[in-house]
A and B are shown apart, each in its own frame.
Chain A
Amino acid sequence: GAVVSQHPSRVICKSGTSVKIECRSLDFQATTMFWYRQFPKQSLMLMATSNEGSKATYEQGVEKDKFLINHASLTLSTLTVTSAHPEDSSFYICSADGQGFRETQYFGPGTRLLVL
């Protein structure tokens, strides 16, 4: 149980294009999902918190118009990197929180984004 998937696992795109990353909780409903970013040799940094059916809450310094988050159902959240640039190249990881009955957050395997 407590499986979280991400798709795609890795993506290469040209500068200026948009990339969508999906995060799914496969065997539980997640009222809250989190999006993290991790640069090489650094720790995970929280980008935003998304609650099902409402707008995401972004951390300071994260552009909400650039990183669009949609949490339309209890099992799916998407992160869209709009007009991607090489500095957006990173490891993007989501996690899902089952609101209490699930004792903690469970993480997806991550998506490696490379912007050329």
Chain B
Amino acid sequence: DAKTTQPPSMDCAEGRAANLPCNHSTISGNEYVYWYRQIHSQGPQYIIHGLKNNETNEMASLIITEDRKSSTLILPHATLRDTAVYYCIVRVGPGGSQGNLIFGKGTKLSVKP
């Protein structure tokens, strides 16, 4: 079973920031938080991951709470092409035996003009 909880759907206006929450209250000390998204009829796309510090890349920012029990993915300026299902996944991170990704139901983000 997935170790994360996400809202089933969210709407966002084009050009505004999209903030996608994720709860992972049972996360272990050696588990990272990964975010993927899946645009309709495509394979999942890696977005970002983090352990405890906030992370930012060209796609998004990841904010992890100090107790690591929840996180938020931020798309700073959402576009229509960001409409997708976003998956928050926790698992052991780089450098070791990483294992498979367990996908929950994710959040369906709809970006509207």
Chain A residues in 8 Å Cβ range of B34? 104
Interface status of A43 (Cβ within 8 A of chain B) = yes
Number of A residues with CB within 8 Å of any CB on chain B: 28
Q: Interface 1/0s, chain A 9-39, versus B by CB < 8 A?
A: 0000000000000000000000010101000
Nearest Cβ in chain A — how far from B48, in angstroms?
Answer: 10
Asked if A105 and B106 make an inter-chain contact with CB atoms under 8 angstroms apart, the answer reads no
Q: Could you tell me if A43 and B95 are in contact, using CB atoms closer than 8 angstroms?
A: no
Bound-state CA distance A104–B38 (Å) is 16
Instruction: Tell me, in angstroms, the Cα distance from A101 to B96 when the chains sit together.
Output: 10
Residue among A46, A99, A107 making CB contact with B100, cutoff 8 Å: A46
What CA separation (Å) do A49 and B105 show in the bound complex? 21
Bitwise, B40-51 to A at CB < 8 A (1) or not (0) is 011111100100
* Interface membership of B30, Cβ < 8 A: no
Closest to A101 in B: B94
Q: What CA separation (Å) do A50 and B105 show in the bound complex?
A: 24
Q: Is the CB of B43 within 8 A of A109?
A: yes
A10 nearest in chain B by CB position: B41
Whether a CB of chain B sits under 8 angstroms from the CB of A87 is: no
Name B's interface SS. Answer: loop
* Inter-chain contacts of A36 with B (CB < 8 A): 103
> In the bound complex, how far is the Cα of B97 from the Cα of A49, in angstroms?
13
Decide if A110 touches B46 in the complex (CB within 8 Å).
no
18 sample A-B contacts, Cβ–Cβ < 8 Å, listed by A number = A34-B100, A43-B87, A43-B103, A43-B104, A43-B105, A91-B41, A95-B43, A97-B98, A99-B98, A100-B94, A100-B95, A103-B94, A104-B94, A107-B43, A107-B46, A110-B41, A110-B42, A110-B43
Residues of A within 8 A of B (CB): 2, 4, 6, 32, 34, 36, 43-46, 49, 91, 93, 95, 97, 99-110, 112
B residues neighboring A (CB under 8 Å)? 34, 36, 38, 41-46, 49, 87, 93-96, 98, 100-106
